[in-house]
Structure 1
């Protein structure tokens, strides 16, 4: 079975269209294809995918992870709380910024949280859990994740 690495994903040879795709395509895949098209909003799928992506990122510290989050234009992360039991990471300018607000309290950025979970778990060498506690689409100013260590 063929296995790709994160470094393989950086090998881009598109001379005409370059190395980017429109945000609306990503949103469509995530929110219409996965969230609306799969059972339970695709949550199991996005969590599995996100953790795998996080584990594959070439990072060795949480600072590296925050840097690559911004480099990949996932969002602009910052630590808003940190102690021995948890870390809260706010993400400004997330992919969902600007979408119409949902009437229900449904968070939509579970993939990003799972990426954090996979990467932080690998960095720390132990299981961590990440939960999205704020989301732009529910009216918050930013998305925020609680990382339980």
Structure 2
């Protein structure tokens, strides 16, 4: 089995359609294919996949992580609290913004990407929990990132 890298993903040779795909396709894969199609809302899968993606990103700092979230159009992140053991990140304009409110959080993949990237940057065990989500009825998505321990 071929092991792809993040750099491999940047090699795009689509002459007509280019490197963009509609947000509707990403939402469909995530929320219908994974969230509704797999047991337990696909959480085990999205956590494993997100951590692997985060670890594969070319990041060396928290600022790099925030920048790549914007570059990949994941959302517009902002650190609202940071100390050695805890970072809180708000993500505005998240992929879920505009979806009907269902009372549940759906951005576990994005949190797992943060977790994998933060573990890579810090070299420590990291746990991320989504504490707010647009789909759950909040004004934005928010993540609590615990470092170490």
Would you call these one fold, judging by a TM-score over 0.5? yes
Q: Deviations over 1:46-66 (max 9, x none)?
A: 000000000000010010010
SS where residue 66 of structure 1 aligns? Answer: helix
In the TM superposition, residue 139 of structure 1 has moved relative to its aligned partner by 1.3
Structure-2 residue corresponding to 1:116: 114
Q: Please state if 1:12 is matched with 2:12.
A: yes
Give per-residue Cα distances to partners, 1:85-117, cap 9 Å, x unaligned: 200000000000000001x3x210000000000
C-alpha displacement at 1:38, in angstroms?
0.2
Q: Structure 2 length normalisation: TM-score?
A: 0.97
Q: What SS does structure 1 have at the residue aligned with 2:26?
A: helix
Question: In 2, Cα distance between the equivalents of 1:88 and 1:79?
Answer: 6
Per mean C-alpha deviation after superposition, the further-off stretch among 39-48 and 81-90 is 81-90
Q: What secondary structure is seen at the aligned counterpart in 2 of 1:144?
A: strand
Residue 82 of structure 1 deviates from its aligned partner by: 1.0
Identify which of 116, 136, 139 aligns with 1:138.
Answer: 136
Unaligned runs of 5+ in 1: none
Distance 1:65 1:101 in 2: 28
Cα RMSD of the aligned pairs, angstroms, is 0.6
Q: Which runs of 4+ in 1 moved over 2 A?
A: none
1:26 matched residue in structure 2? 26
| Number of equivalenced pairs | 147
Name structure 2 gaps, 5 residues minimum: none
Distance in 2 of aligned mates of 1:21 and 1:51? 22
1:38-117 matched pairs, under 5 angstroms = 38-102=38-102, 104=103, 106-117=104-115
Alignment TM-score, normalising by the size of structure 1: 0.97
